[in-house]
C-alpha cells in the first residue's frame, strides 16, 4: 500500500512538471502585431500652380512598418483594392470617380502580420480632369503592333547626317529598325565599312516629317533604352519650319535622351531654340525595364515628366518657336558629343518603344 502511494505521488509530480514545462515553452509565441506603421501619399503632378495634382488622379502611396508581411489598400470610391507583399514599398492609386472636381478621397490601409491585421485610413485631396478637358482624349498614336513600320506615318533617314560628331550610318535595314512583338526596335550595330561607306557602325533614325505633326497636347512614350557604351538614344521633336528657318530657330523638344557621356540611366529633357534649357534625373533601370516619358505642351508652359513625376516646366510664350507644329524623331546615335569615344556595342544596343500617344 505504501509503495502504491509513492507511485501515485511520483505520477503526480511528473504530470505537474510536464504541465509547467509546457507553459514555459519558449517556442510557443503568440502571433506578432504590425507596429510603427508609416505612410505617405504623394499626389502626382503637384506644382505651385497645380497643388492637387495634374488631373490624372494618380497618388503614389509609400508604406512601411514593423512586423508586416503584407498590405491591402482599398479605395472605396473606386471600388478597387491593391496589394503589397512586403514590409516596405509603394502602390499607385488612381482616382477617377469624381471627374472635373477637386475632391477628398479616402484610402483604407490594412497591414498584416500573417493573419493579424491593423487598419488605418488616410485621406487625399486630388484634382481629376473632366472627360472634355485637355490631356484625356487620344488624338493620335502608334502602338507598334504590326509586322513592320507604318510607312504612312514614318520616314527613314539614311546615311551619316554629319551632326554632333556622330559615327553611325543610318539605314532602313531590318537589322537596325523593325517592329516585333509589339515594339519598335532600333538597334546600333558594329558594321565595319558598311557598304563601302567608310562608316563602321549602323543604326536607324525615323521621323514623321511631312506625315504627322501637331501643336500642343500631352505626349506619352513608353520605352526601354540601350545600355552599351557609345549609344545615344533619343525620342524628340523638331519644328516643321526647320526646312525654312533652320535649327535651332525651328525649335527642338527633347522628350527623352540619354548618352554614355552624360551617364547611363541619367535621362535628359531639353528645349532648344537658341536659348537652351535642360534638366536631368537618374532613372534606375532605364536600360533594363520600360519607363514612361511624357510631355505636357501648352501655349503658356511646357512640362516634362518621367514615370508621371514632374522633372521641370518652362514658360512658353509667343516669342518662342514652340507655338507651331512639330514632328517626331526616334533614333539611336553612336559616338558623338553624347555617345562618346568609347564604343562597345553588344547585347544591349537596342531601344525598344512600346508606344507613342498624343492626347488633346
Shared-domain flag, residues 146 and 273: yes
In a domain, residue 110? The reply is yes
In a domain, residue 2? The reply is no
Residues 135, 296: Cα–Cα separation, whole Å: 8
Sorted by sequence, the CB contacts under 8 Å of residue 142 that are 6+ apart come out as 150, 153, 154, 184, 355, 356
Residues 226, 338: Cα–Cα separation, whole Å: 14
In a domain, residue 284? The reply is yes
257 is catalytic: yes
Q: How does pLDDT run across 167-212, given as a tens digit for each residue?
A: 999 999 999 999 999 999 999 999 999 999 999 999 999 999 999 9
Residues 7, 286: Cα–Cα separation, whole Å: 78
Catalytic residue among 166, 168, 220, 257: 257
In a domain, residue 263? The reply is yes
Percent share of the chain, pLDDT over 90: 81
Shared-domain flag, residues 121 and 153: no
Q: Which of 93, 110, 128 is the last residue of a domain?
A: 128
Shared-domain flag, residues 193 and 80: no
Catalytic residue among 166, 168, 220, 252: 252
Shared-domain flag, residues 118 and 175: no
Q: pTM to 2 decimals?
A: 0.67
Q: Which of 94, 128, 162 is the last residue of a domain?
A: 128
Q: CB of 287 within 8 A of CB of 267?
A: no
Q: CB of 226 within 8 A of CB of 346?
A: no
Sorted by sequence, the CB contacts under 8 Å of residue 72 that are 6+ apart come out as 81, 82, 83, 109, 110, 112
Residue 100 has what pLDDT?
86
Residues 95, 80: Cα–Cα separation, whole Å: 10
Strands 183-187 and 350-359 turn out to be antiparallel
Shared-domain flag, residues 315 and 197: yes
Q: CB of 138 within 8 A of CB of 358?
A: yes
CA distances 138 to 67, 217, 350, Å, are 45, 10, 28
Any idea what the CATH number is for the domain that residue 351 is in? 2.60.120.200
Shared-domain flag, residues 118 and 234: no
pLDDT (mean) for 285-310 = 95
Any idea what the CATH number is for the domain that residue 89 is in? 2.60.40.1940
Residues 51, 63: Cα–Cα separation, whole Å: 22
The distance from CA 296 to its chain's CA centroid, rounded to whole angstroms, is 15
Helices (H), 166-283: 242-245
In a domain, residue 219? The reply is yes
Residues 256, 230: Cα–Cα separation, whole Å: 17
- H helix or E strand, kind and range, residue 15: helix 2-23
In a domain, residue 196? The reply is yes
Q: Which of 227, 237, 315, 301 is closest to 267 using CA atoms?
A: 227
Which residue did the predictor score with more confidence, 96 or 288? Answer: 288
Domain of 50 in residue numbering reads as 35-128
In a domain, residue 9? The reply is no
> Cell for 172?
532602313
Does the pLDDT value for residue 245 go beyond 80? yes
How many CB atoms neighbour CB 313 within 10 A? 18
In a domain, residue 4? The reply is no
Q: How does pLDDT run across 271-293, given as a tens digit for each residue?
A: 999 999 999 999 999 999 999 99
Residues 139, 349: Cα–Cα separation, whole Å: 32
The number of distinct structural domains making up the chain is: 2
Amino acid at each position: 500500500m505504501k509503495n502504491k502511494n509513492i507511485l501515485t505521488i511520483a505520477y503526480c509530480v511528473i504530470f505537474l512538471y510536464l504541465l509547467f514545462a509546457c507553459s514555459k515553452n519558449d517556442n510557443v509565441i503568440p502571433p506578432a502585431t504590425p507596429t510603427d506603421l508609416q505612410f505617405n501619399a504623394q499626389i502626382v503632378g503637384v506644382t505651385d500652380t497645380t497643388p492637387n495634382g495634374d488631373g490624372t488622379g494618380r497618388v503614389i502611396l509609400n508604406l512601411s512598418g514593423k512586423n508586416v508581411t503584407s498590405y491591402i489598400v482599398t479605395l472605396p470610391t473606386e471600388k478597387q483594392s491593391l496589394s503589397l507583399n512586403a514590409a516596405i514599398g509603394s502602390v499607385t492609386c488612381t482616382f477617377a470617380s469624381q471627374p472635373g472636381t477637386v475632391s477628398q478621397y479616402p484610402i483604407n490601409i490594412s497591414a498584416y502580420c500573417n493573419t493579424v491585421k491593423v487598419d488605418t485610413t488616410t485621406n487625399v485631396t486630388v484634382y481629376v480632369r473632366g472627360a472634355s478637358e485637355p490631356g484625356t482624349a487620344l488624338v493620335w498614336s502608334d502602338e507598334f503592333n504590326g509586322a513592320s513600320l507604318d510607312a504612312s506615318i514614318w520616314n527613314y533617314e539614311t546615311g551619316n547626317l554629319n551632326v554632333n560628331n556622330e559615327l553611325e550610318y543610318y539605314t532602313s535595314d531590318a537589322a537596325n529598325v523593325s517592329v516585333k512583338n509589339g515594339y519598335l526596335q532600333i538597334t546600333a550595330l558594329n558594321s565595319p565599312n558598311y557598304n563601302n561607306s567608310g562608316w563602321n557602325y549602323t543604326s536607324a533614325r525615323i521621323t514623321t516629317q511631312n506625315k504627322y505633326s501637331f501643336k500642343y497636347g500631352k505626349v506619352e512614350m513608353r520605352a526601354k533604352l540601350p545600355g552599351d557604351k557609345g549609344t545615344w538614344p533619343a525620342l524628340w521633336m523638331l519644328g516643321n519650319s526647320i526646312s525654312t528657318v533652320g535649327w535651332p530657330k525651328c525649335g527642338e523638344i527633347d522628350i527623352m535622351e540619354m548618352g554614355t557621356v552624360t551617364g547611363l540611366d541619367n535621362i535628359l529633357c531639353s528645349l532648344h531654340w537658341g536659348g537652351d534649357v535642360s534638366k536631368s534625373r537618374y532613372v534606375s533601370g532605364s536600360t533594363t525595364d520600360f519607363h514612361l516619358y511624357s510631355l505636357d505642351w501648352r501655349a503658356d508652359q511646357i512640362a516634362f515628366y518621367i514615370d508621371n513625376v514632374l522633372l521641370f516646366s518652362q514658360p512658353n510664350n509667343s516669342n518662342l518657336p514652340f507655338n507651331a507644329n512639330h514632328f517626331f524623331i526616334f533614333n539611336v546615335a553612336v559616338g558623338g558629343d553624347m555617345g562618346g569615344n568609347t564604343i562597345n556595342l553588344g547585347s544591349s544596343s537596342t531601344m525598344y518603344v512600346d508606344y507613342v500617344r498624343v492626347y488633346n
